[in-house]
Amino acid sequence: MDCQNEKRGNPIGTPHILNAAEAAAQPFPLSISFNYENLFKIQRVRNPFVLAPVSYSSLASYLECPWCVVSQKRKKRSKEPTQVPPMRQGALFGGGQPDPRMVGTLLHTIVNLLHDDKGPLTPDKRARLLTDSDALGRFLRQELLVALQKAGKINLAIFFNEFNFHPEILHNTITTPILRYQRELVATRTTIFTGAERFQCKVLSTKNTFAGHPDWGGYVCLIGEFDQIRLRNGTNAKNGTPAIIEFKKGLGGKKPTPPPMQGLFAELEAAPVEENVVVEPTSAHAMQLLTYWLAFQTRWSIREQFVEVKGVLQEIPMSLQQPMELILYNLNDGCQYQLVPRDHQEALVALTECIFLLNWAMKSGYAWQSPEHTCKRAQLTELPAHAIQVQVGNETVTGQECYLLAKASFERFKSTIQWKKLTH
């Protein structure tokens, strides 16, 4: 073994993954980089806040409309109420159909409750709900309201309470999807490794990250949250093949036009509409899942590599090809789509470039407004394009150029996207 290899250890073969607590507790220096074929590197970070972290969601929003992100920096979140107020029937489903975003959030929250070991449900209770459909159905009808309140999800509890007046809508929009979710877990013998878990990692560029620009160095500290990580059984990996799951209620299709006001819910309860419309995941979904691929890398156990080289370890060579699935799960209809990029390396390099460029442009304050957006903007705040300069490596470009470069990287990423619809 030559000196170089000795220092870098062996590639991770059949990996072992760590949950957040284990990853944080691993007694290894945080400065160890995972090196992905010298194209980019990834590091764990313990305190990202000294590194000016950026959330994945703000980068994705910035790609869509810089103005929205830059102008909304200081917006405050509205507070959760502290209790469920007395009911006013029909007040929340006023348009005739429950707000699909709220339904999506509610479904996602129920899924999280079923797996949350810090939530209001005991381990025994969760185990029973996950294996017994009748118990789960009863829970949704009789106990969910209290569980939501105990979990501090008061807005959702208020929303859910409204279903009391619409048992058929409850059945179609909540009970059916949740029972389908549970049955699939049972049928595929899938283990839930973790749900709703924060991540933080540092993505570093190498001299190969930006082709032809050897000095575009730096890093981006990314923070975000995994919806769910599953382990598929019956595979070679030590504890199952990890599958990163992102839940989506809809897939970015058009909003349904509100039905006329007369007869609340009359039409909806009569027959489901537009069920035949097939909506594929978008490029934004692909970007999200592949960003999670990057973030997930900090969860590989490096104990074996570390012991093998007696702690003298700076970089661990990592493969871009890994036994890992990236899946978008539409809770509404149970459809799952796996992201299988046509060219994994091109997809990851283009995404990494895009993340760096978006981060630089966003931090420069460049705030172009997307013409497809209806966001309001005061004309006086417009700065001339050349007024904002961005330092990228040892070069200086305008904020606009930097953003356009990010867009170009994203286009390259888009050309790699390929979805496979999964059937169970």
Footprint of Zn ion (CB under 5 A): 65, 67-68, 373, 375
Contact 330, 281 (CB under 8 A): no
For Zn ion, give the closer residue by CB, 138 or 373: 373
Could you tell me which of 72, 73, 62 has the C-alpha nearest to residue 410?
62
**Least distance in Å: CB of 60 to Zn ion?**
13
Residue 197: beta bridge partners?
226
For Zn ion, give the closer residue by CB, 273 or 375: 375
Q: How would DSSP label each residue in 332-385?
A: TT--EEEE--SSHHHHHHHHHHHHHHHHHHHHHT-----TT------GGGPPPG
**Least distance in Å: CB of 372 to Zn ion?**
8
Could you tell me which of 411, 412, 398, 393 has the C-alpha nearest to residue 367?
398
Tokens 């009863």 belong to residue: 138
For Zn ion, give the closer residue by CB, 194 or 369: 369
**Least distance in Å: CB of 376 to Zn ion?**
9
**Least distance in Å: CB of 71 to Zn ion?**
8
Query: Residue 188 contacts by C-beta under 8 Å, 6 or more apart in sequence?
Result: 232, 424
Could you tell me which of 274, 204, 246, 394 has the C-alpha nearest to residue 330?
246
**Least distance in Å: CB of 359 to Zn ion?**
19
**Least distance in Å: CB of 249 to Zn ion?**
22
**Least distance in Å: CB of 353 to Zn ion?**
23
For Zn ion, give the closer residue by CB, 326 or 367: 367
Residue 399: beta bridge partners?
none
**Least distance in Å: CB of 398 to Zn ion?**
20
For Zn ion, give the closer residue by CB, 127 or 375: 375
Residue 223: beta bridge partners?
55, 200
CA 350 to chain centre: 19
Query: Residue 332 contacts by C-beta under 8 Å, 6 or more apart in sequence?
Result: 100, 103, 104, 107, 173, 177, 249, 250
Within 10 Å of residue 124's Cβ, how many Cβ atoms? Answer: 8
CA 209 to chain centre: 24
The DSSP 8-state label assigned to residue 163 in this structure reads: G
For Zn ion, give the closer residue by CB, 68 or 279: 68
**Least distance in Å: CB of 371 to Zn ion?**
9
